[in-house]
Amino acid sequence: MSNNPTTIGVGLISVGWMGQLHSRAYSNVPVVYPELGIRTRLVIAADTNDERAQFAEHVLGYESSTSDYNDVLNHPDVDVVSVCAPNFLHEEIGTAVAKAGKSLWIEKPVGRSAEETESVVNAADAAEVVTAVGFNYRNAPAIEYARKIIAEGKLGRITNVRGAFFADYSAEPNGALSWRFIRGLAGSGVLGDLLGHLTDLAHYVVGPIDKVTGVANTAYTERPKLEMGSGTHFDVVEGGEMAPVENEDYAGLLVHFGPDAQGAGAVGTLEASRVCVGPRAEYSLEVYGTEGSLRWNFERMNELELALGHKGPHVGFTRIMASSEFGDFSKFQPGAGTSMGYDDLKVIEAKKFLLAHVGQESIHADVHDALAANRVVYAGERAIATESWQSVEPVEGTSASTRTAADSTRRETVDA
Ligand SMILES: NC(=O)c1ccc[n+]([C@@H]2O[C@H](COP(=O)([O-])OP(=O)(O)OC[C@H]3O[C@@H](n4cnc5c(N)ncnc54)[C@H](O)[C@@H]3O)[C@@H](O)[C@H]2O)c1
């Protein structure tokens, strides 16, 4: 424990599911990571829905609340700002946070298009503010371990990747038409919502994707309306007024990993659906190599299936359990077998963000990673519209898994 703790003033914009989760994460960082000497002070929260603003003040413990997010930006005691608003406000608010000179933790997708994300990246770079993005799945200890053993070459040369983020949150035909289904408010459907997460995971573990093609469809073209700030996208509304669904329920991309990727030359499929019957939140990533393979599924977040080598009685997948060898697992549980949960991933994300805010080294998803994921997703959208392959413009300064120069030389020698 540090004798000289740094207190960081927190401002929150939007008090929905994610806003509440960010708040709990900020409160937990000093308890889970006392050695960092970081204290958090929940200063002010904004939501246009008065009940949610009140909830922030009276339940989450913010010192004050407001309906105008500018009050958060202008508050002198706010050092870092979480942006947990619906997607259509991300560019406007993310850019405003950067211009106000505050560190920015923004939910995914940062923009409804790669251009919107780029405008937040440019504002953050110009203001030289620290940023973080809510790609929480990369914080799962089993994913951190997967990334490590792939970087160590334990799987040999990566040949192919299969990822599927399959959810049932809108599997009911009368599932609510929240802002997520309206193009002006959300941008794309599952491409931005779930495939962005999966792309970031693939980038983090295997490396940057440089080419895509794909297909998409919409299973339910109308849904009952839901008022902004009421309920969630998991709600089912019986007998409500119907309105059109404006974006895709399913998308599948064929992808190719570029020359800088740890898995350079590998190919694969990345899929996402919000209307599956069966999977609840089955968010999976599988990586296949010449010497071994691994697969992970968020529904069994604390496990990794691993296969190493070609011979012997134990060839094939073996289930291993997250333990102190895996990422930050031991910060949450004293021993393997006792599970971490989804909220813990956000505590890790908050820790990485606050570490970067105080100027310490932190490998975490920031707005550059969000731009890299967005470019894949929107190249995918273009590819689907034009029934073609599209190349993906690379992004500098991401934390994607890239090959070192020594690695490239070694592999080129082996390949020759
Ligand atoms: N990282 C993840 O796993 C994950 C999971 C869910 C959502 N998200 C992202 O988080 C963001 C928020 O999603 P959510 O599920 O929390 O949404 P939500 O609908 O639960 O909450 C959104 C909140 O924004 C408020 N709001 C609307 N306009 C506002 C304004 N002008 N100023 C301030 N507040 C305003 C609404 O009243 C509501 O309380 C989205 O971008 C979504 O993609 C990320």
Confidence of residue 181 (pLDDT cuts 50, 70, 90): very high
**Does the beta carbon of 89 lie inside 6 Å of ligand 1?**
yes
Contact 240, 227 (CB under 8 A): no
pLDDT category at 3 given cuts 50, 70, 90 is low
Q: Is 105's pLDDT higher than 80? A: yes
pLDDT over 90, % of the chain: 89
**Residue 416 predicted with pLDDT over 50:** no
- Residue 295: pLDDT above 60? yes
pLDDT, position 2: 59
Judge whether residue 109 has pLDDT over 80.
yes
> Is it the case that residue 286 has pLDDT exceeding 50?
yes
By three-state DSSP, how is residue 410 classified? Answer: helix
Say what the pTM is. Answer: 0.94
> Minimal CA–CA distance to 200: which of 398, 355, 405, 416?
398
Predicted confidence (pLDDT) per residue in 45-98, tens digit: 999 999 999 999 999 999 999 999 999 999 999 999 999 999 999 999 999 999
Res 314: pLDDT: 86
The domain limits of the chain are 6-135, 137-405
Say whether pLDDT at 410 is over 50: no
162, pLDDT greater than 50:
yes
pLDDT confidence of residue 412: 43
pLDDT of residue 1: 56
Ligand 1 touching residue 134 (CB < 6 A): yes
Lowest-confidence region among 111-120, 221-230, 371-380, 406-415: 406-415
* Contact 47 CB / ligand 1 (< 6 Å): yes
Q: Ligand 1, atom 5: nearest CA belongs to which residue? A: 18
Residue 158: is its pLDDT beyond 80? yes
Judged by average pLDDT, the poorest of 24-28, 311-315, 352-356, 407-411 is 407-411
* pLDDT tens digits along 323-364: 999 999 999 999 999 999 999 999 999 999 999 999 999 999
Buried b / exposed e across 375-410, counting CB within 10 Å, b at 16+? bbbbbbbebbeeeeebebeebeebbbbbbeeeeeee
> For domain 137-405, which CATH number applies: 3.30.200.20, 1.10.20.10, 3.90.850.10, 3.30.360.10?
3.30.360.10
Q: Which CATH superfamily, name and number, covers 6-135?
A: NAD(P)-binding Rossmann-like Domain (3.40.50.720)
Task: Give the residue-averaged pLDDT of 119-134.
Answer: 98
Under a CB-based contact definition with an 8 Å cutoff, are residues 306 and 317 in contact?
Answer: yes
Say if CB 254 and CB 269 are below 8 A apart.
Answer: yes
Q: Residues 216, 247: contact at Cβ < 8 Å?
A: no
Tell me: pLDDT of 414 over 70: no
- Residue 403 confidence class, pLDDT cut points 50, 70, 90: confident
Mean residue pLDDT across the chain: 94
- Residue 407's pLDDT band, with cuts at 50, 70 and 90, is low
Amino acid at 276: C
Q: How far is the CA of 48 from the centre of ligand 1 (A)?
A: 11
**How far is the centre of ligand 1, averaged over its atoms, from the C-alpha of 78 (Å)?**
20
Measured in Å, residue 101 CA sits from the centre of ligand 1 at 23
Ligand 1, residues 20, 21, 23, 47: which to mutate, most atoms within 8 A of Cβ?
Answer: 47
Q: What is the mean pLDDT of residues 229-242?
A: 85
Q: Cα-flanking dihedrals φ and ψ of residue 349, to 5°? A: -65, -40
Question: From ligand 1's centre to the CA of 97, what distance in Å?
Answer: 16
Give me ligand 1 centre to Cα 20, in Å: 10
Written as one letter, the residue type at 180 is R
User: How far apart, in Å, are the Cα atoms of 186 and each of 19, 89, 109, 192, 231?
Assistant: 17, 9, 9, 8, 17
**pLDDT score for 342:** 98
Residue 411: the pLDDT is: 47
For residue 90, how far is its CA from the centre of ligand 1 (angstroms)?
A: 10
Any atom of ligand 1 within 6 Å of the Cβ of 176: no
